[in-house]
Amino acid sequence: MASGARVLIVRTSAMGDVLHALPAVAALRRLHPEWFIGWVIDYRWKPLLEAEGCCTTPGRSAERPLVDRIHEIPTQAWKHKAFTRETAAGIVRLRRELRAEHYELCIDMQGLIRSALVGSVSGSRRFIGREWPRERPARWLYQQRIQTHEPHVVDQGCELVSAAICEEIRPARVELPIDPAAERWVDETLERTLPKEYWNRFCFLAPTAGWGSKAWPKERYGELAIRLAEAGWAALVNAAPSKKGVADPSAQAVVDGALGCAVAVPSTLAQMMALIRRAALVVGGDSGPIHLAAALERPVVALFGPTDPDRTGPRGPKVRVLRHAVSVVDHSRREETEQGLALITTDEVLTAALGLLQGSGLK
């Protein structure tokens, strides 16, 4: 491809999936810093690529380190109002916006019908996706289909991008945006929430997951917070911003079980990113926060059950994945905790956590 190539990435959601796509795009950026890279993403996950209030002029900075242009779409609104005039107008606007950038190559890293539709209206001369995408009808919209063989989705992303640009890449270190407003929010939150001696001695607990069977029991997070406090570490609990004054029930259940040893911290995505940057350790199931922590190179204890860590697990020297031998892969989205995940004990998680914390240099 030419030295000034223009490449469009389509990976609209969700948080963990966007993070899994980033190492391949980071490798592409490192290999070709002069290329123009755009990304189509759901507005909810935009903070993973760009800090709030970042200049809209195309280009890169600490607030938008990886891509030159972001194209936002409201995927949930389009999904629930698929046949409305508003959705049709939004698609027309997106088509016009994408074609104005004159992309030469579009890579669908999602593999859904909706992501393939986005790529198909981009006007790119080449549109590439997987041979067997998550939703098979999507493949008929691709101009070129690539077979991937690696077990982990991060490596599959690199296979896809490598084939698209005809150059081999390997996963690269990801640089995430720095949001000055979110960093100030963390300063204020820690000052308000914890004694000063714990500002660099707190663990971030992420008790929720995409569906119930991926969530370790809330009472054990509470027990873990107590045990961490006994070892000299504070615990902050990830919480969604309150709606109509109602606290996040999952976070509140952990706080109640912690008997005063944990504090719920409602945050936006940008604020959570800034908070995880300061955390000594992150503990959670197969959900966005643990993948975010791994991307930020923070120590992570990841608790897996019905999903396969060899396919979607976080990576890095500071990552410890716990999965019981009886766990089996099951994406049926059950509400109750998967049987193997339920067998992981608080002692096991504490041992893994303290091992990482001791290795961090903080005593």
HEC profile for 83-114?
CCHHHHHHHHHHHHHHHHCCCCEEEECCCCHH
Average pLDDT, the chain: 95
- Residue 214 and residue 334 in contact, taking contact as beta carbons nearer than 8 Å: no
Backbone angles phi, psi at 43, to 5 degrees: -60, -25
Same domain, 17 and 161: yes
Within this chain, do residues 219 and 246 fall inside the same structural domain, yes or no? yes
Q: Is the pLDDT of residue 246 over 80?
A: no
Q: Same domain for 143 and 249?
A: no
User: Could you tell me the two tokens for 10?
Assistant: 């389509």
What pLDDT sits at residue 360? 74
Single-letter amino acid, residue 302 = A
> Looking at the structure, do residues 153 and 185 belong to the same domain, yes or no?
no
- In three-state secondary structure terms, 232 is coil
Same domain, 334 and 306: yes
Q: Distance between CA 236 and CA 70 in Å, rounded?
A: 32
In the predicted model, is pLDDT for residue 362 greater than 70?
Answer: no
Rounded to whole angstroms, how far apart are CA atoms 55 and 322? Answer: 41
Question: For 285, phi and psi rounded to 5 degrees?
Answer: -85, -170
Rounded Cα–Cα distance for residues 265 and 53 (Å): 23
* Alpha carbon distance 194, 64 (integer Å): 31
Residues 75 and 112 in one domain: yes
**Cβ contacts of residue 272 below 8 Å, gap of 6+?**
238, 289, 292
- Amino acid at residue number 113: I
Q: Is residue 1 part of a domain?
A: no
Which residue, 91, 81, 142, 90, is CA-closest to 113? Answer: 142
Query: How crowded is residue 305: how many other Cβ atoms within 10 Å of its Cβ?
Result: 28
Same structural domain, 70 and 214: no
Asked whether the predicted pLDDT for residue 83 surpasses 80, the reply is no
Mean per-residue pLDDT, 62-82: 90
Give yes or no for residue 244 having a pLDDT over 80. no
Indicate if 349 and 253 belong to the same structural domain: yes
Centroid of chain to Cα 10: 15
Predicted local confidence at residue 85, as pLDDT = 87
CB atoms within 10 A of CB 151: 11
Q: pLDDT of 1-13, one tens digit each?
A: 777 899 999 999 9
Rounded to an integer, what is the distance from CA 254 to the centroid of its chain?
A: 22
Out of 134, 165, 196, pick the residue that ends a domain: 165
Tracing tokens 């019908």 back to the chain, one arrives at 113
Residue 171 lies in a domain: no
DSSP state of 258: H
Backbone φ, ψ for residue 283 (5° rounding): -125, 130
CA 76 to CA 261: how far, in whole Å? Answer: 37
Instruction: Answer positive or negative: Cα dihedral of 354, 360, 361, 362.
Output: negative
- Verify that 184 and 305 share a domain, yes or no: yes
Domain boundary among 104, 138, 165: 165
Q: What is the DSSP letter of 141?
A: G
CATH number for the domain that contains residue 24: 3.40.50.2000
Examine the pLDDT at 88 and tell me if it is beyond 80: yes
Q: What is the mean pLDDT of residues 240-265?
A: 91
At residue 133's C-alpha, the angle toward residues 130 and 134, to 5°, is 155
CA 126/CA 1 separation, integer angstroms: 11
Among residues of the chain, what percentage have pLDDT more than 70?
99
Domain match, 143 and 253 both: no
Is there a contact between 107 and 141 (Cβ–Cβ < 8 Å)?
A: no
Distance of CA 196 to the CA centre of its chain: 30
Structure confidence by residue, pLDDT tens digits, 164-197: 999 999 999 999 999 999 999 999 999 999 999 9
| Residue pLDDT, tens place only, 287-335 | 999 999 999 999 999 999 999 999 999 998 899 999 999 999 999 999 9
pLDDT for 247 equals 82
Domain range spanning residue 253? 180-359
Total residue length of the chain:
363
pLDDT of residue 81: 82
CB atoms within 10 A of CB 62: 12
193 near 265, Cβ under 8 Å?
Answer: yes
Last residue of a domain, one of 105, 134, 165: 165
Amino acid letter for position 170: R
Domain count, the chain: 2
The helix (run of H) or strand (run of E) holding residue 18 is helix 15-31
Please list the residues that pair with 70 across neighbouring strands. 39
pLDDT of residue 59 exceeding 90: no
Residue 170 belongs to some domain of the structure: no
Q: Classify residue 174: in a domain, yes or no.
A: no
Instruction: Kindly tell me if the per-residue pLDDT of 76 is higher than 90.
Output: no
d(CA 225, CA 198): 14
